[in-house]
Amino acid sequence: MRPDQDFEESEQERKFRRRIFHLVFAILVLIAGGFLIWKLSGLVAPVIVGALLAFLFRPIKERLKIPWLPHELQVLCSFVAVGLVLFFALDTARKYIPDDKQQLEYKVRLKYKLNEQYQQWVMKSPEGKPSMLMSFIQKQTGPLMDKVNQLLELDPKEREQFLHYSAAYSVKNEIGKYFQANQNARKYATPEEAPDAAPATTAAVAAPVQPPPAGESSKWEPWILAPLIFVFFGFDNGQIRRYFIGLVPNRYFELSVTLLDRLDNAIGKYLRGTLTECTLVGLTLCLGLILLGSPVGIAMAIGLICGLVNAIPMLGTVIALVICLGYALIAENVEPLIPGLNPNNLPLYAVVLVGITHVLDDVVFQPFVLGSAVNIHPLVVIVAIIGGSLILGLWGMLFAIPTVVVVKTAVETLFKELKDYRII
């Protein structure tokens, strides 16, 4: 046998061995990866949040890049710049976060105002006698109002606290009046409609206040990972990408870099687009509330929260509606900046404002900002949100659509590129 043939045979054998090794190694990695994700499922959300934040932070890092500075120092500078902005924003927002006393006040006020508005709109007709339609609405919404009242009821501990505050800090007179009125709140459902309402209330009152379970604090511990992941990804200068591309066989090198690049673009477009869209929604609501006479601080806080929850498709608007309506119900001494508006109709204006914002979001913001970044069928959106909420709760709902975007783009690009590179 010639030495050339020998060499060729040994090379063939080596190629075969290499393929078997790669296959076994890939299977082992997949099994180990799957097992780890299943066992460490609590870490998945913090890791994703940290990575997403780093992803969103990347353009800022790139913009603040100073070519003559070492990479680490550049990243540090951008961290400091973003940190300072966030610090001032949070410090400002902190002033508007209600303390224990204010929370109790809001709860009492909300219950009182809700009942007042309900009685004004549903219980009374202009003639003083409820019409047939009103009777029907009352019959349908009565049990719901009872449930809401039950939810807003102060438990014995809160009641004690409230009485303590009202004695020590002279809680406003109206709040005391509201508290008294809430004690005598009537039931809206007729007894035959709500047979279980009364025992439930009794049970809620009678049940001792349970201390939080021991494991409650530990569920937040994995979240320490999120800032760590953010910092590590922030300092990364493409090494992680280069490392993983380095593992790819030569045949798939160009395919892999193209695929990663396209995925990066699609996810980046979607995430940054969503962030811009949420900011625009938050700003619209904030501006609307200011025009309706709300103090700037509260309008900003509501705008911020509603902007954030807007990232949850469909449900975001519902949450924003609940928040704005809740605020409109408890707001007092409001003087709208738009002439001709009646301050007593604030809840109605809040509903209109959320409606206008939603239409603006659908007609202007989404097409303008997101464009055709994602074309996902509404049914897929609903299924993804429900599935996400079942798997990871609120975080699952938030990440459902980005996950669908990643999978959709990955599959589409992979098939296109595999065909272009004549691999399939």
422 is an interface residue for another protein by CB under 8 A: yes
**Residue count, binding to another protein (CB under 8 A):** 21
- For residue 234 the two structure tokens come to 């922030």
CB within 8 Å of 65: residues ≥ 6 apart: 74
* Contact flag: residue 251 with another protein (CB under 8 A): yes
- Check residue 95 for interaction with another protein (CB under 8 A): no
389 binds another protein (CB under 8 A): no
Lookup result for tokens 């299943």:
38
Question: Considering the complex, what minimum distance in angstroms separates the CB of residue 420 from another protein?
Answer: 5
Nearest one of 125, 119, 173 to 141, comparing CA atoms: 119
260/245 Cα distance (integer angstroms): 9
Single out the residue of 4, 5, 39, 68 in contact with another protein (rule: CB under 8 A): 68
Which one of 65, 164, 172, 186 is in contact with another protein (CB under 8 A)? 65
Q: Which of 100, 174, 254, 412 binds another protein (CB under 8 A)?
A: 254
Q: Check binding of 3 to another protein (CB under 8 A).
A: no
CA–CA dist 241, 30 (Å, integer): 19
Residue among 246, 339, 340, 378 that touches another protein (CB under 8 A): 246
Distance CA 99, CA 172 (A): 16
75/189 with CB nearer another protein:
75
CA 184 vs CA 180, 288, 344, 369, 387: distances in Å: 7, 35, 24, 51, 42
- Rounded Cα gap, residues 122 and 130, in angstroms: 8
Stretch touching another protein by CB under 8 A, among 44-52, 86-94, 245-253, 365-373: 245-253
Q: Return the number of the residue (160 or 254) whose C-beta is nearest another protein.
A: 254
Residue 340 binds another protein (CB under 8 A): no
420 binding another protein? (CB under 8 A): yes
- Integer CA distances (angstroms), 256 to 33, 242, 248, 417, in order: 20, 11, 8, 9
Q: Is 2 in the site for another protein (CB under 8 A)?
A: no
- Using the 8-state DSSP alphabet, how is residue 279 labeled? H
Residues sharing a CB contact under 8 Å with residue 182, sequence separation 6 or more, in sequence order: 108, 111, 112, 115, 153
State the nearest-atom distance from the C-beta of 272 to another protein, in Å: 15
Under rule CB under 8 A, residue 119 binds another protein: no
Which of these ranges, 208-216, 236-244, 283-291, 301-309, lies near another protein under the rule CB under 8 A?
Answer: 236-244
Alpha-carbon gap, residue 47 to 408, rounded angstroms: 21
250 binds another protein (CB under 8 A): yes
- What is the closest distance, in whole angstroms, from the C-beta atom of residue 242 to another protein in the complex? 6
Task: Check residue 261 for interaction with another protein (CB under 8 A).
Answer: yes
CB of 248 to another protein, least distance (A): 10
The reply on whether position 253 binds another protein by CB under 8 A is yes
- Please calculate the CA angle 369-374-375 and round it to the nearest 5 degrees: 120
Give the residue with the Cβ less far from another protein, 150 or 256.
256
SS (H, E, C) 316-384: HHHHHHHHHHHHHHHCCCCCCCCCCCCHHHHHHHHHHHHHHHHHHHHHHHHHHHHCCCCCCCHHHHHHH
Residue from 117, 150, 201, 258 binding another protein (CB under 8 A): 258
Nearer to another protein, 182 or 413 (CB): 413
Which lies closer to another protein via its Cβ, residue 62 or residue 116? 62
Report which secondary-structure segment, H or E, holds 403: helix 378-420
Where does this chain bind another protein (CB under 8 A)?
Answer: 11, 62, 65, 67-68, 237-238, 242, 245-246, 250-251, 253-255, 257-258, 261, 420-422
